[in-house]
C-alpha cells in the first residue's frame, strides 16, 4: 500500500528524497595524432622541434618523459644522420652518373670494335670467335604463322574505346584486327586496324554496345596466321 501523506514512499518503493541528481556526462579523452608513418624525415624533424619548443616552460607538462634535454639529443642525432645521408646520396648520384658514362663509352668502343672485326673477317665465324667475340646463331626457320593466343579486352580510358592485348606471335611483323557487333555471324566481321605490336586501343566504337574482337598475325610476304579465339566486351 502507498503512503502518500509522508511524501516519501510511493508504490514503486523508491525513496525520492534520497535519489541522487543525474550525473554529468564524462568528458572524452583526446588522443594525439602523430602521423609518423606518413611523414618524411624532414617533416619528423620539424614536428619534433615544434613539440620541444612548445613544451619548454609549459606549465601543463612539468615532468616530460623523456626529458626535453634527452628529446633534444634525439632530435640532434636524427638531424646529424639525415645530413650525412643527404651528403652520401649526393655523392652516390654523382658516382652513378660517372659510372653510367664510363660504361656508355665502353659499350660504344665494344660496338665499334665488333664492327671492325666483322668487316676484316668478312663475317667468318671461326675468326670472329678467335677474337673473343660471341657469334649469333643462324636461328631456326620461322615456319608458317600460328594462331594468336590469349586475346584479352579491357575498357579503354575514354568512352567508345577498348584496349586489346595478346601474346606476341613469333614471325609476325604486325597484326590484323577485326571487330564484330553482337551477335557474331559469318559476315559480321569487319576490318578495324593493323597493330605493329601485340596490343592496340580500338576507338570509335559505340558506347554500350557488345563488341567482339579477333586478331591474326601478318608475317613476311603478307602471309597470315590463324585467327585468335574471339573475345567480347561491352564498350564503355
Predicted confidence at residue 4, as pLDDT, reads 47
Is residue 143 over pLDDT 50?
yes
Local confidence band at 15 (pLDDT 50, 70, 90 cut-offs): very low
Same domain, 109 and 160: no
The answer to whether 52 touches 72, Cβ cutoff 8 Å, is yes
Q: Is residue 13, in this structure, part of any structural domain at all?
A: no
Number of domains in the chain: 2
Same domain, 132 and 40: yes
Question: pTM value?
Answer: 0.44
Q: What mean pLDDT do residues 78-85 have?
A: 95
Q: What mean pLDDT do residues 161-189 have?
A: 94
Q: What mean pLDDT do residues 102-130 have?
A: 91
Q: Is residue 124, in this structure, part of any structural domain at all?
A: yes
Integer Cα distance of 166 and 215 in angstroms:
9
Same domain, 100 and 51: yes
Integer Cα distance of 17 and 179 in angstroms:
89
Same domain, 61 and 129: yes
Integer Cα distance of 86 and 81 in angstroms:
9
Domain that holds residue 195: 152-234
Q: 202-234, pLDDT tens digit by residue?
A: 999 999 999 999 999 999 888 999 999 999 999
CATH classification of the domain holding 171: 2.60.40.10
Same domain, 110 and 187: no
Q: 182-196, pLDDT tens digit by residue?
A: 999 989 999 999 999
Amino acid at each position: 500500500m502507498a503512503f502518500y501523506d509522508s511524501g516519501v514512499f510511493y508504490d514503486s518503493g523508491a525513496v525520492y528524497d534520497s535519489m541522487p541528481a543525474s550525473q554529468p556526462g564524462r568528458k572524452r579523452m583526446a588522443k594525439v595524432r602523430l602521423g609518423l608513418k606518413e611523414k618524411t624525415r624532414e617533416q619528423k624533424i620539424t614536428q619534433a622541434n615544434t613539440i620541444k619548443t612548445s613544451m619548454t616552460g609549459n606549465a601543463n607538462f612539468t615532468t616530460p618523459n623523456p626529458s626535453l634535454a634527452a628529446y633534444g639529443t634525439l632530435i640532434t642525432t636524427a638531424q646529424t644522420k639525415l645530413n650525412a645521408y643527404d651528403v652520401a646520396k649526393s655523392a652516390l648520384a654523382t658516382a652513378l652518373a660517372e659510372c653510367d658514362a664510363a660504361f656508355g663509352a665502353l659499350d660504344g668502343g665494344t660496338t665499334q670494335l665488333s664492327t671492325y672485326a666483322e668487316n676484316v673477317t668478312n663475317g667468318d665465324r671461326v675468326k670472329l670467335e678467335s677474337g673473343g667475340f660471341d657469334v649469333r646463331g643462324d636461328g631456326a626457320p620461322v615456319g608458317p604463322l600460328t594462331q594468336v593466343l590469349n586475346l584479352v579486352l579491357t575498357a579503354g580510358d575514354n568512352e567508345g574505346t577498348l584496349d586489346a592485348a595478346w601474346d606476341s606471335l613469333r614471325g609476325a611483323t604486325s597484326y590484323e584486327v577485326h571487330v564484330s557487333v553482337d551477335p557474331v555471324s559469318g559476315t559480321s566481321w569487319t576490318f578495324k586496324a593493323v597493330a605493329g605490336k601485340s596490343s592496340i586501343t580500338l576507338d570509335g566504337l559505340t558506347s554500350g554496345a557488345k563488341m567482339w574482337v579477333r586478331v591474326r598475325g601478318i608475317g613476311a610476304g603478307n602471309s597470315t596466321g590463324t585467327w585468335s579465339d574471339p573475345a567480347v566486351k561491352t564498350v564503355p
